[in-house]
Structure 1
Amino acid sequence: MTDKEPNVVRTGTGSSEADHTPYTEGVTLPRPEGWIYKGIKLPGCKEIWYASPKAQLLMVSFVCFLCPGLYNALGGLGGGGQLNSTVQANASTATYAVFAVVGFFSGSFANKLGIRITLSLGGIGYSLYSASFLCYNHTKNEGFVTFAGAFLGLCAGLLWTAQGAIMMSYPMEKSKGRYISSFWIIFNAGGVIGALIVLAQNIHNTTGTVTDGTYAAFIVLMFIGAALALFLTNADKVIREDGSKVIIMKEPTWQSEFYGLWECIHLSPWVVALFPMFFASNIFYTYQQNGVNGAHFNLRARSLNSLLYWLAQILGAIVYGAALDFPKVRRSVRAKAALVSLFILTFAIWGGGYAFEKNQPPRSVTSDPAYEKYKIDYTSPGYIGPAFLYIFYGFYDACWQTSIYWWMGALSNSGRKTANMAGFYKGIQSAGAAVFWALDGAKVSYRILYGVTFGLCAFSILVAAPVIWLKVKDTTTLEEDLKFSDETLEEVAPTAVLDEKRAALEDNHVHV
């Protein structure tokens, strides 16, 4: 595609670049010329090309493997690997407070700047965040850690919105669950590898703070992740297996992009019912990482717990990803089944969490440095039960995140709409995380954190239920994806293109 072509990239109409003839279901269009479309066949795999959704998702997965994946490994230790968890809690509050603001508009930035630049800029903040903890080990400069946390919030907003748009809009409908699952597996492998690095370097460390070498390794690896994002191709170059392209505006104005945020709410007001679930989707990290792992386990046991937690995330992604794409069950039925199973898991796993929490000493005791020698080690007789609880917490997180992404992807195939929806998701999610990290920084009782987290998770599922039950259909129509106002359409596309799109909507054989 050249810069001379119309400003709206279409999927579903299947028009070829040469003659713009309609594309009917079952017909695969030839790919354009160029090395990024030259296919190769790997043993046991279908053909893949550089600008294919599979190749691009694989690269994005490894960017997230190296950046937020390793960040999660640090966070999973409780306190970012520091003995004083308040420093990390304050930095996380700054991260998610900024993220909450940026997240609402980062979909517009992703559409304006392109996926490649957005992801690369997003990756830079993770390396600086790790560097701030290395600095803190020697200078105790808490201000730098807090600044790095705030800068990370800006960068993470960009990275996760670009990632969300790719994961939800690039695949075909029948493959979205597998794509989300594949991403989650590779992304959480970053947490697994990061936890292995921490465990290996701190196996004999009883100080409560990870070594300088651990932070240095994370700094380098995270920077490599940011650089890897520069090798992506932008969405307007991506060609699916059937020859269709991604619905996304090319070089829109800032005004039209910010208008798109309002339009997302105006045209789909039911999305507001998903906001409580968005809000709850990251709040449980605070209690799990600092209130359970950081408060009650010593450093090497925390490292092992973190490893098991991220392995459980991979298992959860595999299970839910396969179930959500199960071809013998209609998509609307799968959506409802995922909702019911998530509600049951909430009460089963968090009910087990109460059995653990009610027998633990209060925060005033566990936060005392002298208590470090009394914390649970992986050789302790009482280690197995709490370790399994932590494993189930990780499994639950993957099920929650995979379901939300799949539901959003099931509601639209439009790159623009999913970018805006992902921006809302990450913005509201981060607002929730900021509130709960602030509560942790204010030293609120861990038992209160547990209760509020459990209650919000259960409540948010109930609020979202009507949307999942009524709005997720067996397929998403092209008409629904192209539901923009006439003013917005005229602003971003020539009249000829609009006429072609409207004609495509009247074609009974339009393929989405």
Structure 2
Amino acid sequence: MGSNEYEESGTQLPRNTKSSSIFRYNSPFVQVILIGLVCFCCPGMFNALSGMGGGGQVNATASNNSLTALYTFFSIFGILGGGIYNILGPHLTLFAGCSTYVLYSGSFLYYNHYQHQAFAIISGGILGIGAGLLWAAQGAIMTSYPPVNRKGTYISIFWSIFNMGGVIGGLIPFILNYHNDAATVNDGTYIGFMVFMAGGAVLSLAILPASKVIRDDGTRCTNIMYSNVTTEFFEILKLFSNWKMLLMIPAAWSSNFFYTYQFNHVNKTQFTLRTRGLNNVFYWGAQMLGSVGIGYVMDFSFKSRRKRGIVGICVVAVLGCSIWGGAIANQIQRNIHETLDFKDSGSHFAGPFVLYFTFGLLDAMFQSMVYWVIGTLNNDSEILSRYAGFYKGIQSAGSAVAWQIDNHSVTPLNQLIVNVVLTTISYPLMLVLVLRAVKDNDPEEEPVNQVTPSSRNNVFTQ
């Protein structure tokens, strides 16, 4: 094929180039796997630590305060993170973000010995900055790198790898504290988390910039190498008047708000220390199942992309209402003086355990659904990094409020009711967003960010 014919044909690479393996280093598939492994090591381990309730401590005050500081800064840098990612690129953004996770786990190792919460609160604030950077970068990669008709599948791949970190992270305190009769986890637990998090920081350097990632149809994820501060400032401001983002606010606010109730008032208060670690193995394992299930619905259930979105939201809504109904029944019936153990509590253990398992299932399905909708709004990494940052910023603001609500001794039942209301409101608004903003069919090829003829010889070797 001559160069003129190539240019006139649309933007396709030669046939033998298009069929190159998805396992090449600069393919979206490999890059999504890499960001999944980074999140396996860093936020995956953080989730396991948080999921134990109180950061593994008998008194949740230090953890609640550190998480409030974390999500306060996260809400700011989550929104700014997309712009920072567009300016700095993935290497600096991700490495800086991942490094803060190691500091956070180290602060609880310190707290285990000295019981001073100032270090935990300061490190929580620093982690909020780092998490904002990491998740904005992750959101851009997960929603913009995949092919347009397989975003649900790639999201489920990422979510499964990421949540395997929670599974392994749950095994660490379970194994290390199996014969521990104390109410707090031992030093080895925190050290184990720190080793994984440090590994994630190093691995983040393997992520390629969007301009070097080539989809199988020959398109780049973006043509922009780096943005600038002025552009990002004004583009981020525009998000607050963007009707698509405004419709997403209730879903974003509620999507981490329920962690406080689930971790502190189900797992922490109803189960023994070793059982909490075991519960987290299944909680994060359920996330893997949930992400795969909703990913299939969002990508393969119907030919019409809009119809897939509507069905996916309805599936999550029905499941969510059922699970929260079970949570209300459990909260009303529970015996506050009974602490359940997986070996010693017999049939009393089964109901709360299944409830906690389904919490994990719902979390993954809910967030994968939202990410899929974000991914359908555009295909360019530069734009989607801002959308993902906005989502994580609002999500983190909700988390900051939730942890302080718990610190002010709001009853568990009232916290639960707020969670039910917030998630229920978000479903019809997400349906409106899909109906108004999502194109009905997946385009076979999109004329954006295409590889030029001059670059076709080195497209798959960068």
Tell me, in whole angstroms, the C-alpha distance in 2 between the residues paired with 1:30 and 1:155: 41
1:404, CA displacement in angstroms? 0.5
1:463, CA displacement in angstroms? 2.6
Say yes or no: does 1:310 pair with 2:310: no
Q: TM-score, normalised by structure 2?
A: 0.91
Between structure 1 and structure 2, the one with the greater Rg is 1
1:404 is matched with which residue?
370
Tell me, in whole angstroms, the C-alpha distance in 2 between the residues paired with 1:130 and 1:430: 19
Identity over aligned pairs, percent:
40
Tell me, in whole angstroms, the C-alpha distance in 1 between the residues paired with 2:116 and 2:9: 60
1:440, CA displacement in angstroms? 1.1
Opposite residue 387 of structure 1, the aligned amino acid is F
Tell me, in whole angstroms, the C-alpha distance in 2 between the residues paired with 1:47 and 1:83: 48
Opposite residue 7 of structure 2, the aligned amino acid is T
Opposite residue 154 of structure 2, the aligned amino acid is Y
1:217 is matched with which residue?
192
Query: SS state of the match for residue 300, structure 2?
Result: coil
Opposite residue 297 of structure 1, the aligned amino acid is F
1:81, CA displacement in angstroms? 0.8
Say yes or no: does 1:416 pair with 2:382: yes
Contact 2:159 2:364 in 1 (8 A): yes
* Count of residue pairs the alignment pairs up: 448
1:479, CA displacement in angstroms? 13
2:71 is matched with which residue?
96
1:350 is matched with which residue?
324
| CA distance 1:91–1:188, shift in 2 (3 Å) | same
Report 1:90-489 matches (<5 A): 90-264=65-239, 268-326=242-300, 328-360=302-334, 374-379=338-343, 380-381=345-346, 382-475=348-441
2:7 is matched with which residue?
21
1:48 is matched with which residue?
23
1:465, CA displacement in angstroms? 2.2
Report 1:62-77 matches (<5 A): 62-77=37-52
1:242, CA displacement in angstroms? 1.4
- Which region of structure 1 is more displaced relative to structure 2, 253-262 or 323-332? 323-332
Tell me the alpha carbon deviations over residues 325-379 of structure 1, each in whole angstroms, 9 at most, x when there is no partner: 1065311110000111111112100000011001235xxxx6xxxx6xx411112
1:299, CA displacement in angstroms? 0.3
Tell me, in whole angstroms, the C-alpha distance in 1 between the residues paired with 2:268 and 2:33: 33
1:386, CA displacement in angstroms? 0.6
Contact 2:12 2:218 in 1 (8 A): no
Contact 2:11 2:218 in 1 (8 A): no
Contact 1:206 1:298 in 2 (8 A): no
1:263, CA displacement in angstroms? 3.8
Tell me, in whole angstroms, the C-alpha distance in 1 between the residues paired with 2:117 and 2:434: 43
| CA distance 1:258–1:23, shift in 2 (3 Å) | farther
Query: SS state of the match for residue 182, structure 2?
Result: coil
Tell me, in whole angstroms, the C-alpha distance in 1 between the residues paired with 2:147 and 2:323: 33
| CA distance 1:119–1:22, shift in 2 (3 Å) | farther
Tell me, in whole angstroms, the C-alpha distance in 1 between the residues paired with 2:308 and 2:83: 31
Tell me the alpha carbon deviations over residues 277-316 of structure 1, each in whole angstroms, 9 at most, x when there is no partner: 1111101110000011011111011111111101100110
Tell me, in whole angstroms, the C-alpha distance in 2 between the residues paired with 1:90 and 1:23: 59
| CA distance 1:328–1:465, shift in 2 (3 Å) | closer
Q: TM-score, normalised by structure 1?
A: 0.83
Contact 1:276 1:460 in 2 (8 A): yes
Tell me, in whole angstroms, the C-alpha distance in 2 between the residues paired with 1:28 and 1:442: 63
Query: SS state of the match for residue 333, structure 2?
Result: coil
Tell me, in whole angstroms, the C-alpha distance in 1 between the residues paired with 2:194 and 2:184: 17
1:471, CA displacement in angstroms? 1.5
| CA distance 1:441–1:23, shift in 2 (3 Å) | farther
Tell me, in whole angstroms, the C-alpha distance in 2 between the residues paired with 1:441 and 1:262: 32
| CA distance 1:115–1:19, shift in 2 (3 Å) | farther
Tell me, in whole angstroms, the C-alpha distance in 2 between the residues paired with 1:307 and 1:64: 16
| CA distance 1:327–1:440, shift in 2 (3 Å) | closer
1:175, CA displacement in angstroms? 1.4
1:395, CA displacement in angstroms? 0.2
Task: Please identify runs of 4+ aligned residues in structure 1 that moved more than 4 A.
Answer: 25-32, 475-482
Tell me, in whole angstroms, the C-alpha distance in 1 between the residues paired with 2:447 and 2:118: 45
Opposite residue 271 of structure 1, the aligned amino acid is M
Tell me, in whole angstroms, the C-alpha distance in 2 between the residues paired with 1:442 and 1:158: 29
1:456, CA displacement in angstroms? 0.7
Opposite residue 184 of structure 2, the aligned amino acid is T
Q: Which runs of 5+ in 1 are unaligned?
A: 1-15, 33-37, 40-45, 483-496, 501-512
2:458 is matched with which residue?
none
Tell me, in whole angstroms, the C-alpha distance in 1 between the residues paired with 2:5 and 2:61: 62
1:255, CA displacement in angstroms? 0.4
Query: SS state of the match for residue 358, structure 1?
Result: helix
Contact 2:323 2:355 in 1 (8 A): yes
Q: Which runs of 5+ in 2 are unaligned?
A: 453-462
Query: SS state of the match for residue 7, structure 2?
Result: coil
1:5 is matched with which residue?
none
Query: SS state of the match for residue 25, structure 2?
Result: coil
Say yes or no: does 1:79 pair with 2:43: no
| CA distance 1:327–1:347, shift in 2 (3 Å) | closer
Opposite residue 104 of structure 1, the aligned amino acid is I
Tell me, in whole angstroms, the C-alpha distance in 1 between the residues paired with 2:301 and 2:15: 24
1:30, CA displacement in angstroms? 7.1
